[in-house]
Structure 1
Amino acid sequence: MKEVRLPNLLEIIILLFGFLALVLSFTVFLDLPIQLALFISWFIAIILGVRLGHSYKDLQASIVTGISNGLEAVLILVSVGALIGTWIAGGVVPTLIYYGLEFINPHVFLLATLVICSVMSVATGTSWGTVGTAGIAMVAIGEGMGIPLPIVAGAVLSGAYFGDKLSPLSDSTVLASTLSKVDVLSHVRAMMYLSIPSYIITAILFTVTGFIYGGKNIDLGKVEFLKSSLQKTFDIHIWMLIPAVVVVVLLILKKPSMPVIVIGALLGAIWASVFQGMNFASAIATAYNGFSIKTDVEFLNGLLNRGGITGMLDTLVVILFGLGFGGILEKLGVLKVIVSTFEKKLTTPGNVTLSTLIVALLGNIFGCAMYVSLILTPKIMENSYDKLKLDRRVLSRNAEVGGTLTSGMVPWSDNGIYMAGILGVSTFSYLPFMWLSFVSIGLAILYGYTGKFIWYTKEKSLQSQKLG
């Protein structure tokens, strides 16, 4: 039997640059689906694996293992797709848009977007659900107010990811803490030291930007036209928001995410039938096929014709292929070899923090899914933290920041594809305005190199006391 070895740096460079070349050529030059590029990438990695001594059977098993590790994301995505479809049909999202246009002052709109999306994401624990409901509404309101959509999308994502990395209900929060061997609530408390200052700075940035853009290009006639179009198309009343309230309350009570989201989708279908005059069978069908309508307003058509389980299939396939590719990368030890190459320099909390963030970003770039990053990063970096006797809370915090907050920055990742598709703004357009992500990453690096809010194990603390 052939002896199995780890890949050398040259083999890794060829593999990863080959992957990037394939992805970019398919998406930028050939206009082919990213999913096909990811599928082909499996076999490029398999060829390297066989060269390294692995059997095909083991490599295929690593694909299956990688996919199974992230199947919860698939379940959530399917549920969110159903929710978006019925909430548009039931008037929940249109009502949010209407009241937003009615009551939110243009000058504070970006700040309001950040706050609304962050409150919803903390309460529900899902950035995808937040972007697919409140996010859609805020983009529509921003369009009506004449505020550049990439900036609006940046505010939506800053709010959505704030909760996704902080809420105890979030799957990414649970994953980062569990794989780092940290209690979830201890992880959340550790995140607070970074998240709260980041949020305040981000809120100030969006407030200042809001006063620059708010009201500058606002067309009151267009706002009134959008509102009247919504009223003609949907029954708009405050009780249209009851399904949203029910979902938020159930999630705050720590009920399981997937069934709660499905309950919300069912309520949306009931609301569509009772209040919007849809046939109940057609209302239920929107959970699978999405909502479809033709109004006189082209923008509203593009905004409201979405959702449904079928609308999530492209992202779902990206997740499956990305998780599979991540499974092979882990089996081959690719990221482990990259880290070991620079291991001699991982002698300070600052260098370890920076390396963790880079590994997490690479997990999103080459694993194409946030789950890949959050699964691989703690496993790869834990020894470096243990050698410095750093508390595992520092590992879980850095893995969360690097894994969750960079996931929407990669155009071919699950988050990048989903967020761009739902918001109607390309990844590279909204990327410069993901201010919460950039501020959080900057603070994490600052903490690492200054020693601020960096904790050590009890063993290290006792050693320091003795030396003192």
Structure 2
Amino acid sequence: MENKQKREITIGWALLPLIFMIVSMFGAVYFLELAPHIPLMIGTAIAALVAYYHGFSWEEVEEMMYKGIKLALPAIIIIILVGLVIGAWIGGGVVATMIYYGLKIITPSMFLVTICIICGIVALAIGSSWSTMATVGVAGMGIGLSMDIPAGMIAGAVISGSYFGDKMSPLSDTTNLAAGLTGTDLFDHIKHMFYTTIPGLIIALIAYFFIGRQFSGAHLDRDKINSINTGMENQFVLSPWLLLIPVIVIILVAVKVPAVPALVVGILLGFGAQIFVQGNSILQAATTLQSGYVIDSKDKFLTELFNKGGLESMFFTISMTIVAMTFGGILEYSGMLTAIINIILRFARNTGSLVAATVASCFATNATCSEQYISIVVPSRMYIKAYIDRGLHPKNLSRALEDGGTLTSVFIPWNTCGVFILATLGVHAYEYGPYTVLNYVIPFISIFFGFIGFKIVKMTDAEKVYYSEKSLG
């Protein structure tokens, strides 16, 4: 096909694919309970038609999609390794050991603090807030309700801890997406999030400490806890020595070992633990890496917690990332995102307002697209050029994406996260919302730091050139 005369895409045309995608996403996710892939493909098709109408050839549209996918390849590699780590650590007994010792420290007055910390540790270990809420969170709801603690309070503490661990875990898909799509090193991204996330966690724990004091005379259901721990003892060899595996990975990160080799070490150690500590065969351990760990138990809690991991468990996230980046690639390289962002940047004249716009855009995407992955993918491509042009390191953007996207998804009842929490914990967003302290405190901390310039990292000229080539393609 011959190239037609290219015309600048105006804001009205630029918004058209987003509107189609948002409407189809809302209908598919909220009403039909489908995955977000098809709505993204609809948005991609509309974006391609808009680009073609404005003079781009089909070959150029295809190239835009390929360039979008290429930007996500580093994140996809990490996501693949994450699936292997989760399987290896569950099969090696590492995750079970963390939960086992965590459940031993619960007391009624400190229940909210403790369940928040336990959920944080488990989510940090497995990289999934959803899996943590569906297992440890469900158990925590039962234990807390037996002490007459309101469901909203329990769910708020569970969600805060789960999202803290998910956000800070190198095994988390959203964490890898935020880093990969902005061209930021994974562990640089995680370390940069410490400055907003740790204060948020401290504030949340202080709040739960004071809220929990009113339950100091409550009865603790030790039988339920003992049942959970006994079930894990029957399935795994539990030893504090297994905690050395995540400690070693943390040390590797601290001494600046890159993400891929650090995760490979974690995989090998977990693989070895499954063979030499748990007594499984090499075939069983290898199968765990491929298709995940499978536990033989009649206990629903243990089955839901430990039947996961492996390469195959990551295919949903990988396929969604590829589809999302075909959509993002057309929006970006056709000039549609430029048309949208130029309107926003008229009001975002300084760093604080730029960070605020990023966080607000992530929240708006959560509310309109009903999917937290999209709240990272779309804003990442919208704002990356603005951050680089202003000499701001991309890790400022990756942090804002997580602060505004990953965390705020829980407050939208029709978002997949809000729907999942209602189905899993049995608590509505309006009930747990006031008590999900970490999730609403951190976005405000992020914006505040943007305005005062605290821990906002600038780039050197050489870094600006490097990230322009790496992140903008």
Q: TM-score of the superposition, structure 1-length normalised?
A: 0.76
Amino acid at match of 1:251: V
C-alpha offsets along residues 395-442 of structure 1, whole Å, 9 cap, x if unaligned? 853662245541354599xx978x969x96799859946543422322
Q: Could you tell me how far apart the structure 1 residues matched to 2:316 and 2:383 are?
A: 26
CA displacement at 1:3 relative to structure 2: 2.5
Partner of residue 42, structure 1: 44
What pairs with 1:363-382 in structure 2 (closer than 5 Å)? 368=374, 370=376, 373-380=379-386
Secondary structure of 1:392's aligned partner: coil
Name whichever of 51-60 and 108-117 sits farther off.
Answer: 108-117
Amino acid at match of 1:239: W
Partner of residue 442, structure 2: 440
Q: Could you tell me how far apart the structure 2 residues matched to 1:273 and 1:76 are?
A: 24
Partner of residue 291, structure 1: 293
Name whichever of 316-325 and 364-373 sits farther off.
Answer: 364-373
Q: Could you tell me how far apart the structure 1 residues matched to 2:341 and 2:114 are?
A: 41
Structure 2 residues without counterparts, runs of 5 or longer: 146-153, 459-473
Partner of residue 73, structure 2: 71
Partner of residue 258, structure 2: 256
Partner of residue 400, structure 2: 401
Partner of residue 466, structure 1: none
C-alpha offsets along residues 3-42 of structure 1, whole Å, 9 cap, x if unaligned? 2233323223332121011112222333433223323332
The question of whether the paired residues in 2 share the 8 Å contact of 1:108 and 1:210 is answered with: yes
Secondary structure of 2:247's aligned partner: helix
Distance 1:7 1:77, change over 3 A: same
Q: 142, 147, 157: which one pairs with 1:151?
A: 157
Distance 1:456 1:80, change over 3 A: closer
CA displacement at 1:289 relative to structure 2: 0.8
Amino acid at match of 1:443: I
Confirm whether residue 392 of structure 1 aligns to residue 392 of structure 2. yes
Partner of residue 333, structure 2: 331
The question of whether the paired residues in 2 share the 8 Å contact of 1:98 and 1:230 is answered with: yes
Partner of residue 462, structure 1: none
Partner of residue 201, structure 1: 203
Amino acid at match of 2:384: P
What pairs with 1:239-250 in structure 2 (closer than 5 Å)? 239-250=241-252
Name whichever of 403-412 and 319-328 sits farther off.
Answer: 403-412
The question of whether the paired residues in 1 share the 8 Å contact of 2:99 and 2:118 is answered with: no
Secondary structure of 2:98's aligned partner: helix
Q: Could you tell me how far apart the structure 2 residues matched to 1:71 and 1:424 are?
A: 32
Q: Could you tell me how far apart the structure 1 residues matched to 2:269 and 2:138 are?
A: 23
C-alpha offsets along residues 345-382 of structure 1, whole Å, 9 cap, x if unaligned? 44466544432333455677778273553344131355
Partner of residue 12, structure 1: 14
The question of whether the paired residues in 1 share the 8 Å contact of 2:387 and 2:397 is answered with: no
Distance 1:215 1:247, change over 3 A: farther
Partner of residue 140, structure 2: 142
Confirm whether residue 55 of structure 1 aligns to residue 57 of structure 2. yes
Name whichever of 398-407 and 137-146 sits farther off.
Answer: 137-146
**Fraction of identical pairs, as percent:** 25
Name whichever of 403-412 and 248-257 sits farther off.
Answer: 403-412
Partner of residue 354, structure 1: 356
The question of whether the paired residues in 2 share the 8 Å contact of 1:140 and 1:303 is answered with: no
Q: Could you tell me how far apart the structure 2 residues matched to 1:248 and 1:295 are?
A: 31
CA displacement at 1:286 relative to structure 2: 0.5
The question of whether the paired residues in 2 share the 8 Å contact of 1:66 and 1:323 is answered with: yes
Q: Could you tell me how far apart the structure 2 residues matched to 1:260 and 1:448 are?
A: 31
Distance 1:247 1:409, change over 3 A: same
Q: Could you tell me how far apart the structure 2 residues matched to 1:40 and 1:175 are?
A: 22
CA displacement at 1:152 relative to structure 2: 0.9
Partner of residue 465, structure 2: none
Distance 1:57 1:335, change over 3 A: same
Secondary structure of 1:358's aligned partner: helix
Partner of residue 470, structure 2: none
Q: 214, 219, 229: which one pairs with 2:231?
A: 229
Amino acid at match of 1:392: L
Q: Could you tell me how far apart the structure 1 residues matched to 2:308 and 2:97 are?
A: 16
Q: Could you tell me how far apart the structure 2 residues matched to 1:456 and 1:318 are?
A: 31
Distance 1:300 1:14, change over 3 A: same
Distance 1:91 1:218, change over 3 A: same
Structure 1 residues without counterparts, runs of 5 or longer: 458-468
Distance 1:343 1:239, change over 3 A: closer
Q: Could you tell me how far apart the structure 2 residues matched to 1:262 and 1:212 are?
A: 46
Amino acid at match of 1:440: I
Partner of residue 310, structure 2: 308
Secondary structure of 1:146's aligned partner: helix
The question of whether the paired residues in 2 share the 8 Å contact of 1:64 and 1:324 is answered with: yes
Secondary structure of 1:294's aligned partner: coil
Amino acid at match of 2:221: D
CA displacement at 1:50 relative to structure 2: 0.5
Partner of residue 463, structure 1: none
The question of whether the paired residues in 2 share the 8 Å contact of 1:158 and 1:435 is answered with: no
Secondary structure of 1:236's aligned partner: coil
Partner of residue 319, structure 2: 317
C-alpha offsets along residues 318-349 of structure 1, whole Å, 9 cap, x if unaligned? 11111221111111323321232355444466
Q: Could you tell me how far apart the structure 2 residues matched to 1:2 and 1:309 are?
A: 44
Q: 72, 82, 89: which one pairs with 2:84?
A: 82
Amino acid at match of 2:392: R
Q: Could you tell me how far apart the structure 2 residues matched to 1:343 and 1:329 are?
A: 17
The question of whether the paired residues in 1 share the 8 Å contact of 2:129 and 2:165 is answered with: no
Secondary structure of 1:296's aligned partner: coil
Distance 1:278 1:132, change over 3 A: farther
The question of whether the paired residues in 2 share the 8 Å contact of 1:89 and 1:286 is answered with: yes
Amino acid at match of 2:143: M
Distance 1:281 1:197, change over 3 A: closer
Q: TM-score of the superposition, structure 2-length normalised?
A: 0.75
The question of whether the paired residues in 1 share the 8 Å contact of 2:271 and 2:285 is answered with: yes
The question of whether the paired residues in 1 share the 8 Å contact of 2:115 and 2:157 is answered with: no
Distance 1:371 1:40, change over 3 A: closer
CA displacement at 1:249 relative to structure 2: 2.2
Partner of residue 100, structure 1: 102
Secondary structure of 1:70's aligned partner: helix
